[in-house]
Structure 1
């Protein structure tokens, strides 16, 4: 991993297009801390590439709230051990094979739940973009087999915005989806920040570390 690259969206669209044109199926992994802008970048790339790219979100593999309650993990939803990492890896393996359509879930933030069978990934789509916090965790992290994810990704980008900006955006997002200002700040600076520390330690495994400009 090198220094943080300050790049415009147009350059990243061109890089994603090169992946799509390399032949066969490529998977671009976009990692970063909560609120880093992974979804914003992923959505922009998919829109720019049209039918040549489709989005598969790691958040769609959240364990259901009922299961988190059973496990005693509901108060830290979003931590690495609150996901079905085996299911995520299995889906990535099926996507990488590109021999048949794959149906994948999507995470609905308004419901705080995954909806199965929401995304169809056809074999002829050359680029699958997957984004999430924990794509780069290695074997040193012992909660779940997250280390199995990185070998399935063709290229990985780590999104690293200004930290104050990230936290402000994260608080605003929690408020937008129904938390009070106090609850939003408490979750952002508590559970989310503990997860952000885990994510930050994985940045060294990324191919590129990015600060993204959307005005060029």
Structure 2
């Protein structure tokens, strides 16, 4: 499906007369944030808002307390219940009430509370993340809260190359970036792969 068709599909979700929620899922490095950001930019700030799942990363201090620092980015290192609660709130906007969603700072590798304002009149919220279609608790309710889900996929070698480059760009030495991607990130990629079959649309990344 070409970019114009994807934009048309998103525009239809924004034109239902209520608040639509579009989820973009896929393996780490597939291009979820790039596609989601492009759609929001193309639709404009009065018609769409971006709320990434990454804002629900647990802080590093909590990961250390739980003994999960080495698994950062895995499903169990997110506040899935909190994410689902935010989606429920976003589904039913209330007049005069701006919802403040958490963001994620890649330079700090930490979530940022209250970073993303979503005004009640915005007709479409786009969210993206690895685990939107993960058929495990506590992630399973997320799919039911989204009006439509897209799965983005990319050639495996290219996806891994981009992931390594991204980790290196944000401060990891090359060897450490490779170990993390080939270990943790690829384990997560295998875990989410069955979600492809549950998506409403499969998008080929570039």
> TM class by shorter-chain length?
over 0.9
Runs of 4+ in 1 over 3 A off after TM superposition: none
* Candidates 113, 116, 121, aligned match of 1:119: 116
* 2:76 aligned residue: 81
* Candidates 28, 51, 55, aligned match of 2:50: 55
Unaligned stretches of 5+ residues in structure 1:
1-6
* 1:18 aligned residue: 12
Match status 1:193 vs 2:186: yes
Give the alignment of 1:176-191 within 5 angstroms: 176-191=169-184
* 2:91 aligned residue: 96
Unaligned stretches of 5+ residues in structure 2:
none
Using the alignment, how far apart are the partners of 1:120 and 1:153 within structure 2? 19
* Candidates 13, 24, 27, aligned match of 2:21: 27
* 2:64 aligned residue: 69
Using the alignment, how far apart are the partners of 1:171 and 1:47 within structure 2? 26
* Candidates 151, 155, 166, aligned match of 1:158: 151
CA offset digits 1:99-153 (Å, max 9, x no partner): 1321111000000001111111111100000000000112xx2xx4100100000
Count of paired positions: 203
Does the residue aligned with 1:106 lie in a helix, a strand or coil? strand
Maintained 8 Å contact 2:48/2:125:
yes
Using the alignment, how far apart are the partners of 2:90 and 2:23 within structure 1? 13
* Candidates 168, 181, 184, aligned match of 1:175: 168
Maintained 8 Å contact 2:103/2:116:
yes
Provide TM-score, normalisation by structure 2.
0.96
Using the alignment, how far apart are the partners of 1:11 and 1:174 within structure 2? 32
Provide TM-score, normalisation by structure 1.
0.92
Does the residue aligned with 1:78 lie in a helix, a strand or coil? coil
Does the residue aligned with 2:140 lie in a helix, a strand or coil? helix
Maintained 8 Å contact 1:55/1:129:
yes
Maintained 8 Å contact 1:52/1:127:
yes
Does the residue aligned with 1:149 lie in a helix, a strand or coil? helix
Does the residue aligned with 1:107 lie in a helix, a strand or coil? strand
In the TM superposition, residue 161 of structure 1 has moved relative to its aligned partner by 1.1
Maintained 8 Å contact 1:8/1:212:
no
